[in-house]
Amino acid sequence: MDVGAFVQENKKWLLGVGCGAVSWFLVSAIFDSVHAVQVPTERSLGAPTGPVYTQAALDAARAEGEELAKARAALVKALQYAPSATFQLPDGVRPGDFLFQQSRDLKQRILASANQRDVQVADGAIAWEVPTGVDEIRATLFGLDLIDAVQARLYGAHDATRATDETAVGLRSIVSLKLDARRSQRAPMRAQRPGEIDVRDFFTQEQLSFQFQSDERTALTFLEALGGAKPDSQIVLESWQMLKPARPGEACAIKGTAIGLAFKPRTDATEGM
């Protein structure tokens, strides 16, 4: 068949087919551009394509983090009181029985030390609340640990004074040595707001009050001893009052409160704080 003759005979048909093909391609392209699914990218969402922080900002943040870590270590060293193994609740032991034993032994140590030094101890001078629940028992054991440390430093101050002057008054009497109730510290807190920090995630604390009679030198030696002679033995003095005697040679009246802070090990939850 002659192609030229075919084209001449079917010119209108071929022109219609060509126009239809072109129209189909145009409509398809427009449809795809409107309905095609595109995965959003950081650029399409308006996110910055370059570094969010400069290297100088990152270096400054790292330096600040190192300074904060040093400051925290210094704070812990200045305030930390690490509980002794004596008052740690062992596994497999009934908490109530263990607390009873440690309470009895502590009172016996205080009374025996008083008898050896001719120091008067008032009835009911050594006291604390009877706890309920394992957590409360652990907290009370920590408080007993603090009482044990305070009484040892108090008798140590007496011994140091009498060692240099046998005629010194030293420690005359222990009027009270009590573990203060801290229910607010152990009670559940309200729901935290976003970004709010619960200090109980970082340390536990117990507070005790003391009152005794001694000469000035023994009182000041005891005051210095509260800070501890070795790391991890700091007892923070919260209040202190010393009343001088009315007549020379008599004992001063001293009373105050002290706090023991036990910092918790750092965890993943607190690393970034």
Average pLDDT over residues 204-210: 91
27 within domain boundaries: no
CATH number reported for the structural domain that contains residue 166 in this entry: 3.30.70.60
Encoded tokens for 118? 């001719």
Best CA proximity match to 36, nearest among 28, 44, 25: 28
If one compares 178 and 45, the residue with the highest pLDDT of the two is 178
219 within domain boundaries: yes
3-state helix/strand/coil string of 125-141: CEECCCCCCHHHHHHHH
46 within domain boundaries: no
Average pLDDT over residues 45-68: 75
258 within domain boundaries: yes
107 within domain boundaries: yes
Residue 13: pLDDT band (50, 70, 90) is low
Token look-up 């449809």 returns 31
Q: Which residues are bridge partners to 126 per DSSP? A: 177
Structural domain range at position 245: 63-184+200-271
Total domains in the fold of the chain? 1
pLDDT for 151 equals: 96
9 within domain boundaries: no
82 within domain boundaries: yes
211 within domain boundaries: yes
| Global confidence as pTM | 0.70
